Amino acid sequence: MQWIESSVRHLFFTGKGGVGKTSLACATAVKLADAGRRVLLVSTDPASNLSHVFEASIGDGEPAAIEAVPNLDALNIDPEAAAQAYRDRVIGPARDSLPAKLVRQMEEELSGACTTEIAAFDEFTGLLTDDSLAGRYDHIVFDTAPTGHTLRLMKLPTAWNTFLETNTSGASCLGPLAGLEKQKQRYADAVQALADAEQTRVILVARPEQSALAEADRTRHELSALGIANQRLIVNGVMPDPASADPLAMAMVQRGQAAINAMPAALAALPQDSVPLQGHNLVGVASLRALLGGGVGAEVTETPLSDAPTVNVPSLREMIDQLAEPGHGLVMVMGKGGVGKTTIAAAVAVELASRGHDVHLTTTDPAAHVTQTIEGELDRLEVSRIDPDAETERYRQHILETKGKDLDDQGRALLEEDLRSPCTEEIAVFQAFSRAIREASKKFVVVDTAPTGHTLLLLDATGSYHKEVMRHAAPNTKLVTPMMRLQDAEQTKMLLVTLPETTPVLEAAQLQDDLRRAGIEPWGWVINASLAAAGPTDPLLTRRARAEVAQIEKVQRELAARTAIVPWLPEAPVGEHRLRQLADGVAAETTNN
């Protein structure tokens, strides 16, 4: 646990939803405070549950003392509240001086995920650059670091305002940056502090799973490219040697070790630690102290052992029965990175093709591994990948040759600056994505989307395109835009994929709210990799299975129009045979090969 035995002032915990960032950040803050250090714990996670973890009231805006842990204060940054305050600050002065139509357009441009990220960063930078905090705290521990997407925005050149006066495309990341002009120096100081290895360490948190480790490696690479080199890896939730002969437990050990052994070389070269899988919910200070090896109050009462729970949720095959009825259509599989979107998309596509339907399975995910998941060719199934790099370069050249052809040198330089923003990739991918949408009138098109933040930006671009087309359409012209297809429940079925854990379910619920804001109603939810559905007998896994029940019931009763569940499988669901077993909710027999 050398990440704790450090003089570094800023500790950031980052990783995909559900890997245990919050638990590790909280446990680290408690450990430092128990050692006599003055600590501020900050959550920038939109699904923050600090109050639940500490069993104490922790509000937004002002640090609150954690009475059970002397020397520890905690603070939530609410990204949605920050985004609203940010919009009010940017748009407020214009409300009385601009036409209402233009004000509404500004509000729409500042309503997307990009604005939320920037607004949260706006709040976050105050903590990094506030001199008064330096005298109050020895360490600031952050639960969730700014994304690489946000940091790339902050490092764009500074000639924003002039460009914004002339940019009318409505499809730019620079729109949300409009309110940053007066605080550029503070942001520059914050980015510099992040890159200072003496001040800042980023702790990449992953589970012992291939997808989680791959995502950690992408984060490592992206942060390294931005000059943030002081990084460390924690592999959380490592299954200990089983206390029984449960095949699920033994398979979990084997799969976890295989994933760790196969992690990318650059990630494996980082300093790293591992934390064992816990059988109880990490709630309360005693649990947090126990997580990192004892200390005062480390005793934790285990939940009494009982049989694994029984869950009554339809299988994925039963959901596919309904999807297949029209004989064609668009199926979009969405969710946070690491929840198993690619596997679920592949299982849906394979099952539809096996029933004699023509199917096109495509992905907009930069980290796609659809082909490896299918493992071979199937009749009636076409597999493709939308290459973000190729689409982005094609889009850049098109814009420079059209909108840029009559600009002077300064205007062209500013346009090229805009085209270097992270959102450009999403807008470019949209063009290829819209071609796939059109195919769905004749066959099934199954889209394995990019992680949630990227997907929402893509859909924001879709919305902008829709408004632009309708604005210039001749009267009485009958048009069907891609957004109209996405909003049509007869043509498009949105499947949200989640894990049966608190944070992934919260994140999927937030995605559902964002889709509804765009006029898109999710068709169903898929709960993936459920231990409760797998029926373990190992004591540790049985306790974890019982902890899933509340989240499964929440999805069924409160969130989803229809639900399917997929069990945690002893063997990776790769290839036609195992993907079809996954759809059935049947685990293949474990082998020792």
Catalytic residues: 18, 20-23, 45, 503
Q: Cα–Cα distance between 363 and 495 in angstroms, integer?
A: 14
Tokens in use for 365? 């995910």
- Cβ neighbours of residue 322 under 8 Å, at least 6 residues apart? 562
Q: What is the CA radius of gyration of the chain?
A: 24
**Can you state the percent helix, strand and coil of the chain, rounding each to 5?**
50, 15, 35
Q: Where are the beta strands (DSSP E) in 391-461?
A: 444-448
Which residues have a Cβ under 8 Å from the Cβ of 493 and sit 6 or more positions away?
Answer: 323, 329, 330, 331, 332, 523, 524
Q: Residue 190 contacts by C-beta under 8 Å, 6 or more apart in sequence?
A: 124, 125, 128, 129, 154
**Separation CA 523–CA 461 (nearest Å):** 22
Q: What is the residue type of 310? A: T
Q: Choose among 543, 585, 536: nearest CA to 252.
A: 536
**Helices and strands per DSSP (H, E), number in the chain:** 25, 15
Which residues neighbour 152 within 8 Å (Cβ) at sequence distance 6 or greater? 226, 421, 422
The residues pairing with 238 across neighbouring beta strands, listed in sequence order, are 276
| CA–CA distance, 51 with 28 (Å, rounded to integer) | 16
Using alpha carbons, select from 530, 544, 581 the residue that is nearest to residue 313. 530
Going 441 to 489 to 557 to 211, the CA torsion angle's sign is: positive
Distance CA 271, CA 209 (A): 18
Helix (H) or strand (E) holding 214: helix 210-225
- The tokens describing 460, both together, are 């924001």
* Among the listed residues 531, 574, 571, the one whose alpha carbon sits nearest the alpha carbon of residue 237: 531
